[in-house]
Amino acid sequence: MEEELSPSARRVAQALAALGAGGRVREMPASTRTAAEAARAVGCAVGQIAKSLVFQVAPDGRAVLVIASGANRVDEKKLALLLGGPVRKASAEFVREVTGFAVGGVPPVGLRTALDVLIDEDLFRYGEIWAAAGTPRAVFATTPAELARLTAGRVARLAEEPPQPPAGG
């Protein structure tokens, strides 16, 4: 089955196998580039999509992989506090350079460069989650606990908080 995968998805499947992961890589007929597209393609809630985002931390520009629930926006202020410096989303070119994958298909494993990983605690609300597997159409299922094991990621509160209504209103 692995030989039917595109080269990038095969690389992720091999990384998962080497790490003893249970999920298998699936290439979908529809795009899984965004969390909403991925959720539609696999038939799950948007929150079950583990989206991979690469940030750069100042002043040295080091890369950090953030794996967030597809339902959440990452709070860059929280991220900066956790990482000890201002952060910015990495450019598509930088993402490809450090991960070996294009934006929209960056997996949590099999990266070109070992990165520090932060995992959104909201993913732990779900028994099963889905992550990108190397292309904008490839995904694999896992559990939050297995994702943490596979990536040696640190679990943290990363989501932006919803705006609060004005007091007394």
pLDDT digits (tens, 9 = 90+) for 69-83: 999 999 999 999 999
This prediction has a pTM of: 0.92
> In this model, does residue 169 exceed pLDDT 60?
no
Give the pLDDT score at 1.
Answer: 45
- Residue ranges of domains in the chain, CATH in brackets: 2-156 (3.90.960.10)
3-state secondary structure the chain: CHHHCCHHHHHHHHHHHHCCCCCCEEECCCCCCCHHHHHHHHCCCHHHEEEEEEEEECCCCEEEEEEEECCCCECHHHHHHHHCCCEEECCHHHHHHHHCCCCCCCCCCCCCCCCEEEEEHHHHHCCCEEEECCCCCEEEEECHHHHHHHHCCEEECCECCCCCCCCCC
Q: 44-48, 144-148, 158-162: lowest mean pLDDT where?
A: 158-162
